[in-house]
Amino acid sequence: MTSPDATGTGGLPPIVSRTEWEARRAELLVREKELTRMKDAVSAARRRLPMVEITEKATRDYVFDTETGPLSLLDLFDGRRQLIVQHFMFHPDWPEGCVGCSMMADHVGPLSHLHARDTSFTLVSRAPVGALLAFRDRMGWDLPWVSSGATTFNEDFHVTVDGEEHHGISVFLRDGERVFHTWSTYRRGEEPFMLVFDLLDLTPYGRQETWEDSPAGWPQHPPYEWMRLHDAY
């Protein structure tokens, strides 16, 4: 009689010899390398995307409330050529920021690495800047965070739709005083920037969410419901 553990049922992968494991691992490595090359190809195509100029009026009218006073979209570049914006869901009436957006911000880390590549990064939300800074202090982030509440920035980049908040990332390029929108992504398009998902994808149980294609008996729960602010687990 074969034990459940040997067949991969009962919530455990099959148990095999080291030789068989190495052969199976080599098969998967071929697919992993294909994925890496595909990612490189997609990145190459992204670098060839055309861009849209933000009008001089819009660039001037986007005035963000910040901890140092009002700043324009051009100011957010902080003298660098490129700007990455995380559209962070924080409605003006909410007591705290979005859990998923917070998880992404947890992964950003020291901005000096981006600055070394002539790239700035900032969080943008509609909530008042005082609420943003208080929440930032609670989370322990060292990231610039500005309020777009007095502008149409969120609506123009499709992260506030009919009064509802959405999350995303947008990228901008500066050429002198001219500003261009080069790329945006929304919903699961942000996942590559959240290392916790990639790390969990390396494990036998994966993210342990119901949408995943996993063997019978694997632990699974509704997607995202397990996530908390990092000080709330």
Q: Which CATH entry fits the domain spanning 52-191: 3.40.50.720, 3.20.20.150, 3.40.30.10, 1.20.58.220?
A: 3.40.30.10
What's the start-to-end Cα distance of the chain, in Å? Answer: 42
Q: What percent of the chain has pLDDT over 70?
A: 96
Quote the pLDDT of residue 57. Answer: 80
* Each residue's pLDDT tens digit, 94-121: 999 999 999 999 999 899 999 999 999 9
Distances (CA, A) of 18 to 7, 25, 119: 16, 10, 45
Across 81-99, average pLDDT? 96
Distances (CA, A) of 119 to 85, 105, 136: 11, 17, 21
